[in-house]
Amino acid sequence: METPNSDQKQLFSVRRILCVIGILLSVYALKVKYDGTSRVFTSSFGNGFGMVSHILGDDSLFNLPNSVYGAIFYAVELTLELYPTNMYGGYLLFAGCVLSNVGSIYLAMILYFVLEQNCMICVSTYAVNALLLVNTYQLIRYYPSTKRE
């Protein structure tokens, strides 16, 4: 990757900040879940997106709290961003952001229509995911092309 200009540096800085905020929100959500103070996190949708237990069972290794998946996602996004090898790396980051926003929409619908709750941690996480998607879309143009010259 070429030496980044000031716009690129700013976009990468914002991306790193968003990933750190996402990790912090995920860790805080995990704390709230284990404190048992939120109906949202202790509901059946609080683990494995409400689907894993139906498919693999309650004792499945993949039936983790959603916040653990979130922390892993933000850590992976942050790590992959540090090694931008080519345009495919940029597309991989973007695909991860699209997937996280699909998950956010799914969880937001459950929050509003099924649980009928208000959760500031959840909404904040959805906002971080949306901003990360926009940021990654803007950054893709700076990733090196995969075309041979």
Q: What number is the average pLDDT over the span 106-135? A: 94
Where is pLDDT greater, at 46 or 121?
Answer: 121
**Which of 139, 125, 128 minimizes the C-alpha distance to 94?**
139
- Half-sphere exposure of residue 102, counting CA atoms within 13 Å on the CB side? 6
pLDDT confidence of residue 1? 47
pTM of the model: 0.86
pLDDT of 48 over the 50 cut: yes
pLDDT of 26 over the 90 cut: yes
pLDDT band at 139 (very low <50, low <70, confident <90, very high): confident
Q: Tell me the torsion sign for CA atoms 85, 78, 75, 39.
A: negative
| Helices (H), ranges, the chain | 6-35, 39-42, 52-56, 66-81, 87-109, 120-140
Amino acid at residue number 139: L
